[in-house]
Amino acid sequence: LWINRITAASQEHGLKYPAFIVNLIKCQVELNRKVLADLAIYEPKTFKSLAALAKRRRQEGFAAALGDGKEPEGIFSRVVQDH
């Protein structure tokens, strides 16, 4: 059920499920499928921002996606450092 919801939501934003998941992983977005499915239903603007990030990663590559310092609208990010 989670994968079906994510698939439908990602397709609304022009990405197939595998491309969406792979590119989120490459951008170090560590959200599991349950959370992504919940975001697709209850937080569509947040899901749209994640789809924009994945789409941008796919189109431009990792360095270009994060290198300009601009996040897609609605994305909040933080750096987690291990000590």
pLDDT string in tens for the chain (83-residue length): 999 999 999 999 999 999 999 999 988 899 999 999 999 999 999 999 999 999 988 877 655 545 555 666 666 666 555 65
5: left (phi over 0), alpha (psi -120 to 50) or beta: alpha
pLDDT at residue 59 in the model: 78
Per-residue confidence (pLDDT) for residue 80, from 0 to 100 = 57
Cα separations in angstroms, 21 against 7, 18, 26, 28, 74 = 10, 5, 9, 11, 19
Angle between the N-to-C axes of helices 33-42 and 44-60, in degrees from 0 to 180, rounded to the nearest 10: 120
The predicted pLDDT at position 76 comes to 64
Spell out the domain ranges in the chain: 2-67
pLDDT confidence of residue 57: 85
- What the block records as the tokens of 56 is 């941008």
| CATH dotted code for 2-67 | 1.10.1900.20
